[in-house]
Amino acid sequence: MVRIKVIKYEEATGRLKEIYDELVDKRGKLADVHTIQSLRPESIAKHIDLYMEIMFSKSELSRAEREMIAVIVSVCNKCEYCQIHHSEALNRYWKNEQKTLLLRKDYKQVELVERELRLCEFAESITLNPGLSKEIDETERLRKAGLNDNAILDATLVVSYFNFVNRMVLSLGVELEKDSGTGYKY
Q: pLDDT over 90 for what percent of the chain?
A: 88
Q: What is this structure's pTM? A: 0.95
Residue 108 CB contacts under 8 Å (≥ 6 apart), including other chains = 117
Q: What is the pLDDT of residue 148?
A: 98
Report the pLDDT value the prediction gives residue 13, as an integer from 0 to 100: 98
Residue 16 has pLDDT above 90, yes or no: yes
Structural domains of the chain in order of their starting residue, each with its CATH number: 9-56 (no CATH), 63-167 (1.20.1290.10)
186 pLDDT above the threshold of 60: no
At 63-83, the pLDDT tens digits run 999 999 999 999 999 999 999
Could you tell me how many residues make up the chain? 186
CA–CA separation, 60 and 150 (whole Å): 7
Centroid of chain to Cα 92: 15
Q: What is the pLDDT of residue 180?
A: 62
C-beta atoms surrounding 5 within 10 Å: 8
Looking at residue 131, its pLDDT comes to 84
At 135, which helix (H) or strand (E)? none
- pLDDT, residue 12, reads 98
Q: pLDDT by residue (tens digit) across 129-184?
A: 998 777 889 899 999 999 999 999 999 999 999 999 999 999 999 999 887 655 56
